[in-house]
Amino acid sequence: MPNPDETPPLSNLQELDAPYSFREPESPDPNNPPWGLGGALLVWFASIVLIVVMPVVFFLPYAWAKGFHTGMPNYAAALAEFALSDKVAVILQVVSLIPSHLLTLVLVWAVVTRFGKKPFWSAIGWGWSPNFPWWLNVALGIVLFVIGGFIAWLFGAEKPTQLEQIVNSSLAARYLISFLAVCTAPFVEEFVYRGVLYSPLQRLAGVPGAVVIVLALFTIIHVPQYWPNFGVIAAVALLSIVLTLVRALSGKLLPCIVIHLVFNGIQAIILLVEPHIKPLIPSAERAAPTAAFLRALVGFIF
């Protein structure tokens, strides 16, 4: 007759559906995530709203202090011109991207982990792939930048973009853009597009459908920054499709982040050294900054 005071064996405890179960939590599959398309689209839409609204929140009080008000003639046009011509106004808008990115990361964490109930890194696909070692990702980032720079030069070298206006407004804006390009943008964009968005899309529409949809969404969001330079927009589209294909082939997000980081890092280096090497560039080539600056940079270093 069994003794009622005896502790049941561990094997019996593991079979019980009880709160004190000893089963290990399963690691989520990044290709079969615990979140759905609705949550992914919510994060994507919220990230856009933050990028649009946060600069206004930072900029409007300064504009009002400078005398801009809704009753003045041509208020909208004057405010838009002031936003891109005043150095302090430009810096305020660029600085506002830091809280925008941080809040987006919080939203990504909330959806991926279900507010801390699921592990984040395994669910998002963090880690290396045997097919994409770190050195290959670095090489891909460099090659993509060179090809993208050639495409931008070939199809739109003489068309200045809104981003170029911001960068050229002051050294402070140039440094801030360089910081964002390396320290926040690659992580935020990859977490949103190749992380949160790609996974449920791949499950619902398959790999080809997910690649096309992510390509379209990523490119469309960058159009206002680079309009009307179709060459730069095409370079962004090239970056997006390669990054999404790497995500599909590797099953991991970290290779995409490294490629994106290298791509943006080269741009950041060019932005930082441009004021120092611009006098070395022939005036006829200054309309094509990427190719010309790369040539001048090589000569400047070596």
CB proximity list for 126: less than 8 A, separation 6 or greater: 252, 253, 254
**pLDDT higher than threshold 90 for residue 134:** yes
The per-residue pLDDT for range 60-78, each reduced to its tens digit, is 999 999 988 888 888 888 8
CB 68 within 8 Å of CB 75: yes
Would you state the pLDDT for residue 248? 94
Per the structure block, which two tokens stand in for 265?
């890092």
Beta bridge mates, 129: 132
- Domain borders along the chain are 31-301
The per-residue pLDDT for range 234-275, each reduced to its tens digit, is 999 999 999 999 999 999 999 999 999 999 999 999 889 888
Would you state the pLDDT for residue 292? 43
Helices (H), 157-253: 162-167, 171-183, 185-189, 198-226, 230-250
Residue 16, number of CB atoms within 10 A of its CB: 11
- Classified as helix, coil or strand, 25 is coil
The per-residue pLDDT for range 188-241, each reduced to its tens digit, is 999 999 999 999 999 999 999 999 999 999 999 988 888 888 888 899 999 999
The per-residue pLDDT for range 4-20, each reduced to its tens digit, is 555 555 444 444 444 44
C-alpha span between 298 and 281 (Å, rounded): 12
Would you state the pLDDT for residue 285? 44
Would you state the pLDDT for residue 194? 96
CB 73 within 8 Å of CB 79: no
CB 111 within 8 Å of CB 42: yes
- Classified as helix, coil or strand, 32 is strand
Would you state the pLDDT for residue 298? 36
The per-residue pLDDT for range 76-133, each reduced to its tens digit, is 888 988 988 899 999 999 999 999 999 999 999 999 999 999 999 999 999 998 889 9
Mean pLDDT of the chain: 84
Would you state the pLDDT for residue 252? 94
Place of tokens 């561990």: 10
